[in-house]
Structure 1
């Protein structure tokens, strides 16, 4: 377990935020940590699950930062599935 800095943005938002995540957090948790900063503030909430996209690929819910080979400060996008 180690804190890992990523840049995050919610689809439809215009603000990129710096979010510390744990390198062993599943993508469901990473999505919630990023979404906290935009959904309900600048992006309307929806009744659909959140997904994380990295380098154009939507990631599996159980994948982790440590398992992806993500670099610090990489941009992760959160979107509704």
Structure 2
């Protein structure tokens, strides 16, 4: 387990944020951490929809149970979080 910073862009937010995550966090945990900094602040909450995480520019999201380590994410790599 190691703490690393990711650059996180939540769809609809105008600010790219530095998001500290642990390598054992799942993508659902990463999405929740990113939401704490955007949803209800710059992005409207959509509780009926699932949040997903993908590498910046990727078409498909990571599996929700993938960990940061399994996804191969490295410090300051940019991810996108969005409501599915």
TM-score band, normalised by shorter chain: over 0.9
Match of 1:74 among 68, 71, 77: 77
Which runs of 4 or more aligned residues in structure 1 lie more than 3 Å from their structure 2 counterparts after TM superposition?
none
State the alpha-carbon separation in 2 of the partners of residues 39 and 50 from structure 1: 11
SS at match of 2:37: coil
RMSD: 0.9
- Alignment size in residue pairs: 81
Counterpart-to-counterpart distance in 2, 1:70 and 1:13: 22
Stretches of structure 2 lacking an aligned partner (at least 5 in a row):
none
TM-score, normalization by structure 2: 0.90
Q: 1:39 & 1:27 partners in 2: Cα distance?
A: 17
C-alpha distance in 1 between matches for 2:70 and 2:36: 23
Unaligned runs of 5+ in 1: none
TM-score by length of 1: 0.93
